[in-house]
Chains A and B, each alone.
Chain A
Amino acid sequence: MRRRSALFGAIVLMLSACSAPAEGPSAAAQDTVVLGLGAEPDSLNPVLGYSVDGGSLMFDGLVRRTPDLKLQPALAESLPEVTGEEVRFTLRQGVTFHDGRPLTGADVVHTYEQVLDPANNSPVRGDYAAIEKVESPDPRTVVFHLRHPYAPILQRATLGIVPDKSDLSADPIGTGPYAFVSWTKGDKLTLRANDRYWGGRPAIESLVLAYTTDDNARATRMAAGEFTATELPPKAVARFRDQPGLTVHEVPSADYRGVMFPLEQPVTGDLAVRKALGLAVDRGAMVAAILAGAGEPAYGPIAPGTDWHNPAVTGSAAPDRAKAIATLEAAGWKAGQDGIRVKDGTAARFTLMYPAGDSLRKELALAVASDAKRIGIDVRPAGLDWDAIDQRMAEDALIMGWGSPYDPDYTNYELFHSAYAGQGYFNPGRYRDPEVDRLLERGRAAADPAARKQVYDRVQQRISDDAVWLYLVYLKHTYVVRGEWSGLTPGVEAHEHATGGLLGTVVNWKPAP
């Protein structure tokens, strides 16, 4: 009771003393950086999917990525050869966990076994399906035994390593540049620099990741000086442009949005209709109006700016309606009475679904519908819940989003291989092409990067020729940063940003002189 009354005294005092706004943390010393993030992780355990693609700050994988997406050895001493069904890593010496325990092969084995154990419900278990088992013949060696040759295994090895015998609800202890201090769920995660980090102690002593789901709330807190940096949607960064002391960063991403066509339906199954739509949509206007300029036109599933992109697969940002109409006419889609084209008694009409809660996808669906109308195709947008969408993906088109900058095998194998036709969100359009199947299998197994590059260039070409999808836009992620920093390096970002893409490079930030 005494504490309660003390608290009340404090409140009364505060109320009376609240005439001056409180100084934001921006006035605090430079050794604390506050990052305003939107998506809070459910768990800080890499086994449960926390930041598996790196950038987790607290954990290191066997390998890590530079901002330009090159792989570097991290807990491994060097990048191993990936050929056949066995991959052998030699661990770096002298690495310790935050609690002082030395890193050994047993920790790596434990981490991967925890992910692969079905009882743990790991959301990322499917990503590691190629691994049969992981062994550690001696403390400095780890061997992956694969079910089949799998070139992207090194990309998967960014998974953060947790200590041996740790369980799923343990406090996060890793080997990374930052150590865990505290986590108030729904509020913030506090970290401190790891003095013993094998890669050298980071310049910023204390790091706070403040989680605020609402974009407007994040913008308000950034404007109030609470954050050093934050991620915001393109339309919300406008107010921060040309402000002294603030920089707006636009970072390209591999995150695309497009239309998935059900290929076993009379209208969307017709190549001419799909090709015509690809010519008729105004991608330039979508980027300018819907993304507030923070995006790029998309023509394929592999992002420009990554090593795997095939520059031959391209198109025009402006629509070419004459060519689109000619394509339809040549294929027998003739203008009907109400302006909607007809072929053999079938009207050129289909439903385009989008998840109702996603305003970006809704706007894209409406844009596609209005562009399609102008060439005589009637597209009917339908905002639905995912559970309703699930049931209809074989019949109706859908605005979908995917994209990973790391490896061309990621998701594309599942999206375009006939073995996955109709498997949930994998290949819902039921695309079946023997050549593409063969290419995807070869690309996954081939060890030589040059050979893989050829394979995936061909895959991109085939998918473009068949107009399996209608690719619309690549998003750009936008950030606002306060102050001058060196070491803030943008790279092509993935769809998920566990530590916030660009903000994940905070390990290398140093106050600019």
Chain B
Amino acid sequence: MIWVRIVLWRLVFAVPLLLAVTFGMFALAKASPFDPVRQYLGERAMVTSPEVMARIRANWGLDRPLLEQYTTWLGNLLTGELGESRSLRLPVTQVIAERLGWTLLVVGCALVVMLAAGLAVGTLAAWRRDSWLDRLVTGTAFANEAAPVFWVGLLAIWVFSVTLGWLPAGGLTDAASTAVTLPDLARHLVLPVVVLAFSQSSWLLLFVRESVIGVLREDFVTGARARGLRERTVLLRHALRSALLPFITIMGARVPELVTGAILVESVFSWPGVAGTTIKAALAVDFPLLAALTLLATLAVVAGNLLADLAYTVADPRVRVLGVS
């Protein structure tokens, strides 16, 4: 029943964290020089009388003190009321319900692609250590680690959509299609998924390579080789398996980067997911939506770390988490 205790501990820690994050966001938004009412009105702000603007401000409670705005929001949150998104003119719950699926699809596919590719290429590089292949792989990985995600995305669009014309540059489906069909969706999914997977896989690949190299030096591997086991068996059954353990923890710790990556990728590829909406909400000072999305992102990070810890305790019972053994 160790994992029950871990989960409970985590929950105890997660509550103040979520409070701090959301309050911090409120304070930042309050300090932001952007006027939510002007953003809401857009071009109409120019032809809207100050009286109408003041009324909208009052309707949203923006003229109230910060703490009061925050407690009101928190109270509504506890009753499951997330308010109205100002930039999308829809209830926040509806916005998230409509878009979360698309984000999970991209992130899920990207995770699978990145795990498979990272493990395979990393192991390969370790096995052929110091060859030209290994150098190419590690070099690319380091360069990629330094390159911003949106830049990689734009580069991919330029190469595969503009120059070669192989894949669509963005959107969920072709402009002329009236329904979401699987082949159409799949074609539009390729670039965002590959770019997100590629941008997140550098550290994974380098980590796998290091671990496998380390394990390959271990006595039991040398023994296995001496017993005449096939190279493939040695690699997969022995080396990779021991290397995977620390990897699970690292995976959990990388969730924040995955979240940021998803935000940027969705924006670049005009993907109608929830992550790309974060940027829109921030630019439009769309408070209710931004608060909900911040909460969601924080929850994702907390949950990612928790899952990693749980997986680790399952994989290796000797591990102590937060003093709970």
- The distance in angstroms between the C-alpha atoms of A386 and B39, with both chains bound, is 11
Interface string of B162-202 (1 = CB under 8 A from A): 10111111111111101100110111011001000000000
Roughly how many angstroms separate A387 CA and B33 CA in the complex, as a whole number? 7
A-B contact count (CB 8 A): 147
**Which interface class (under 10, 10 to 19, 20 to 34, 35 or more) fits B?**
35 or more
B283 to chain A, nearest CB (A): 11
Residues from chain A with Cβ under 8 Å of B75 in the complex: none
List of A residues within 8 angstroms of B183 by Cβ: 10, 14
Please state if B52 and A125 are interface contacts (CB–CB under 8 Å): yes
CB of A345 within 8 Å of the partner chain: no
* Residues on the B chain within 8 Å of A185, using CB: 88, 98, 272
List, in ascending order, chain A residues with CB within 8 A of B51's CB.
Answer: 126
CA distance A379 to B215 in the complex (A): 70
Q: Is A198 an interface residue (CB 8 A)?
A: no
Q: Is A217 a contact partner of B169 (Cβ separation < 8 A)?
A: yes
Interface of A, secondary structure class, is mixed
> Would you call B77 an interface residue if the criterion is a C-beta within 8 Å of the partner chain's C-beta atoms?
no
Secondary structure of the B contact surface, majority rule = helix
Is B156 in contact with chain A by the CB < 8 A criterion?
no
Task: Flag if A425 contacts B45 (CB, 8 Å).
Answer: yes
User: Contact at A11–B178, with CB atoms within 8 Å?
Assistant: no
Contact of B49 with A424 in the complex, beta carbons under 8 Å: yes
Measured between beta carbons, the chain B residues less than 8 angstroms from A119 are: 59
The verdict on B41 contacting chain A, using a C-beta distance below 8 Å, is: yes
> Closest chain B residue to A32 by CB distance?
B176
Partner of B49, one of A4, A190, A220, A426: A426
What is the bound-complex CA distance between A10 and B161, given in angstroms? 19
| Pairwise interchain contact B89-A169, C-beta atoms closer than 8 A | yes
Partner of A15, one of B178, B179, B190: B190
Residues of B within 8 A of A6 (CB): 182
CB pair A402 B46 closer than 8 Å: yes
Measuring CB to CB, which residues of chain A are less than 8 angstroms from any residue of chain B?
A: 4, 6-8, 10-11, 14-15, 18-19, 21-22, 25, 28, 32, 34, 36, 42-43, 45, 48-49, 118-119, 121, 123-127, 129, 168-169, 181-182, 184-188, 190, 206, 208, 210, 212, 217, 220-221, 224, 226-227, 385-388, 402, 411, 414, 423-426, 495-496
Decide yes or no: A34 and B276 within 8 Å by CB, A42-B89, A126-B48, A217-B170 being known contacts: no
Question: 4 nearest interchain CB pairs?
Answer: A25-B176, A43-B89, A21-B165, A10-B186
Decide if B175 touches A226 in the complex (CB within 8 Å).
yes
Closest beta carbon of chain A to B177's beta carbon, Å: 8
List A contacts of B270 (CB < 8 A).
186-187, 212
Indicate whether B19 reaches chain A with its CB closer than 8 angstroms: no
Q: Which residues of A contact B278 (CB under 8 A)?
A: none
- Provide the residues of chain A in CB contact with B38, threshold 8 Å: 386-387
Bound-state CA distance A190–B109 (Å) is 28
Q: Report chain A residues within 8 Å CB of B186.
A: 7, 10-11, 14
Q: A172 to nearest B CB, angstroms? A: 12
Complex interface: chain B residues within 8 A of A221 (CB): 169, 175
In whole angstroms, how far apart are the Cα atoms of A185 and B94 in the complex? 12
Expressed in whole angstroms, the Cα–Cα distance for A246 and B187 within the complex equals 28
Cα distance A8–B110 when bound, in Å? 11
Let me know if A42 and B42 touch, CB within 8 A. Answer: yes
Query: Which residue in A10, A28, A182 is a CB contact (below 8 Å) of B176?
Result: A28
**Most A C-beta atoms less than 10 A away, residue of B88, B168, B171, B193:** B171
